[in-house]
Amino acid sequence: MDLGSLKKAPGSTHSDKRIGRGPGSGQGCQAGRGHKGQRSRSGSKQKAWFEGGQMPIQRRLPKFGFYQHNSKDYQVVNVADLERFDAEVEVTPELLQQNGLIKKADALVKVLGNGDLSKKLTLKVHAVSKTAQEKIEKSGGAVTLL
């Protein structure tokens, strides 16, 4: 056995179709392109999103919305929600998550000033509103920003 005696396996190859070489080939006349029209011509190409000349979908639909790249999504906790903690407790995002006030301990937390606080608490959060800070300090507590 040598390289000159190698042959392809039977049935592994077939001859190419000879397009547009007369009626005997079975692919003569229109050469499988149908009758007339844009796609029957040589050099015909359309963009993938071309819709035949009708108004394209990206122009039919209205523009809406925007994305603010520097926005921060805070998990909100109100001062009234902090009333459930005991006095002199250090309130952290982990503690807020354990009590079901926020969903994720590693996300940003902001305290807002809705409600009243009668206990002295130390808060460690990422942001706090002015009214919330006033109410917490008025009750003897303190706020530390993370």
CATH of the domain at 128: 3.100.10.10
List the chain residues with pLDDT less than 70. Answer: none
- Chain position carrying tokens 């942001």: 127
> Which ranges of the chain does DSSP label H, i.e. alpha helix?
57-60, 93-98, 130-138
Q: Which amino acid is at 127?
A: A
The structure tokens 């979908």 sit at 57
Judge if pTM exceeds 0.95. Answer: no
Question: For residues 45 and 131, what is the distance between their CA atoms, to the nearest angstrom?
Answer: 64
Per the structure, how many domains does the chain have?
1
Residue 50 in any domain: the answer is no
User: Is residue 68 in some structural domain?
Assistant: no
Q: Which domain holds residue 81?
A: 75-145
Question: Is residue 139 situated within a structural domain?
Answer: yes
For position 87, what pLDDT does the model report? 86
Residue 59 maps to a domain: no
User: Is residue 120 situated within a structural domain?
Assistant: yes
pLDDT tens for each residue of 99-123:
999 999 899 999 999 988 888 989 9
Q: Order the strands of the 108-112 sheet from edge to edge.
A: 74-78, 108-112, 127-128
Residue 24 in domain: no
Predicted pLDDT at 130: 93
Residue 12 lies in a domain: no
Query: Is 108 a member of any domain?
Result: yes
* pLDDT tens digits, one per residue of 42-57: 888 889 989 989 999 9
Give the per-residue pLDDT at 124.
92
